[in-house]
Every structure is written in structure tokens, then in C-alpha cells.
Amino acid sequence: MITRLSHAPVWVLDQDSAKRFYTKVLGFEVRHDATMDGLRWLTVGPKGQPDLELILAKPAPPMVDEATAEQMRTLVGKGVLGAGAFSTEDCRAAVEELRAKGVTILQEPAERPYGVEAVFRDDSGNWFSLTEARR
């Protein structure tokens, strides 16, 4: 039976730019960066969570056909894809740190039933929730 989620895709427009964003801005570490059969396998993850890797995947053959890849790139570029939720101990402080690094904040920190939440965009256009859980 399935025991855990180990990898999750985040569709990006430029893998080199995404690698810089996720490592230099968000502080993640590169787990893998290799090219196999024409496909670049680039994964990153939070330093404190070694069992999860985000696949920074460019929509392109051989993963999808070119017509589908173009549609996916358009959707990513429009910023309509939400890629997930990140946890933080202090949402307000994390947002200020991200803002200082030039990150687009879509939604300022706000009280929610589950804690404090903000929303930001990565350099490709994907949006993420940033949540400080209620204690």
C-alpha cells in the first residue's frame, strides 16, 4: 500500500530561474539535477524535510506533447495554477523576508480558522499558500 508522498511536480517556465528562486529565495536545497534521455530531472526541497522533493518540471516533450506543453506554459504564465501550501512558524515575518527578496505577495497575512495565511507567487507564476498553523 502507499505509505507517503515523496515527489510532487511544480511546473516552471525556466528550470535555471526556478532553481535560483527555490534555492536562493526560498532557501531550499537541490536534491537532484541531472539530464537523462533529454529530460532534465531537477528536484528541490526544504532543508528540514528530506523526504519530500518538488520536481521543477518544464512542460515540454517528452513529458507531454508540444501542443499540451504550450497550453501548460500559458496557464503557468497566467498565474492560475496553485502549487501547494508551505508551513512557517511566523507567517508575517516570512512574508516580510520574501517581500525584501522581491517575491510577489498576492495576499497579505490574514487570520484564518486554521492560523495565519498569506499567498505568494514563484518566479514562474505558480501561487502558494504560506501558513502558520494555529497553536
Per-residue pLDDT of 50-90, as tens digits, reads: 999 999 999 988 878 999 999 999 999 999 988 899 999 99
Q: Nearest CA to 70 among 78, 59, 55, 62?
A: 59
- Give the domain CATH number at 70: 3.10.180.10
Q: In terms of DSSP bridges, do strands 115-121 and 127-133 run parallel, antiparallel, or are they unpaired?
A: antiparallel
Q: Report the pLDDT value the prediction gives residue 64, as an integer from 0 to 100.
A: 85
Residue 57's domain comprises 7-133
Domain-embedded: residue 1: no
Domain-embedded: residue 95: yes
Domain-embedded: residue 17: yes
Q: Report the pLDDT value the prediction gives residue 65, as an integer from 0 to 100.
A: 92
Q: Report the pLDDT value the prediction gives residue 61, as an integer from 0 to 100.
A: 85
Q: Tell me which DSSP letter residue 103 carries.
A: P
Number of domains in the chain: 1
